[in-house]
Amino acid sequence: MHEMSIALAVIGQVEEAAERAGGVTAVRSVRLQVGELAGVVPDALSFCFELACAGTVLEGAELVTDTVPGRARCAPCAHEWSVGMPPLLSCPRCDGGGTDLLSGRELQIVGVQWEDGSTPASTPEPIPEER
């Protein structure tokens, strides 16, 4: 279950941002963009997040996940379609090779709110994928 390592990565990034901001004592919410194809189960992620937050500046913070639908585009015929689940990665129109994934692999923090309602000055980096 890699949701725990993602939760830990999210917490690490928010802790760093809190350190840079200075004087942050609590985090109100963390908004995460999760692509349909990122292989993350939002419920499992919330569960791990809650567990892993204990004892950090994020304790009690709300995790909000925005699901990004998977979209693919066929290079030979330029047809675009929703990848869906399980993902359909060959062109439904021409069945040709050469599919570009346009979206659906996102996994990044898109917003953080500190306890006083303010937000970090810089945009956090995407969560590195597991190797």
Judged by CB under 5 A, the chain residues 88 through 127 that form the site for Zn ion are 91, 93-94, 96
Contact, 68 vs 104, CB < 8 A? Answer: yes
CA–CA gap between residue 73 and residue 81 (Å, rounded):
7
The yes or no reply on residue 77 touching Zn ion (CB under 5 A) is yes
Which of 48, 89, 54 has its CA nearest to residue 72? Answer: 89
Q: Output the smallest distance, CB 84 to Zn ion, in A.
A: 16
Residue of 2, 28, 31, 79 that binds Zn ion (CB under 5 A): 79
The yes or no reply on residue 83 touching Zn ion (CB under 5 A) is no
Runs of H (alpha helix) within the chain: 3-21, 42-53
Residues within the interface to Zn ion (CB under 5 A): 74, 77, 79, 91, 93-94, 96
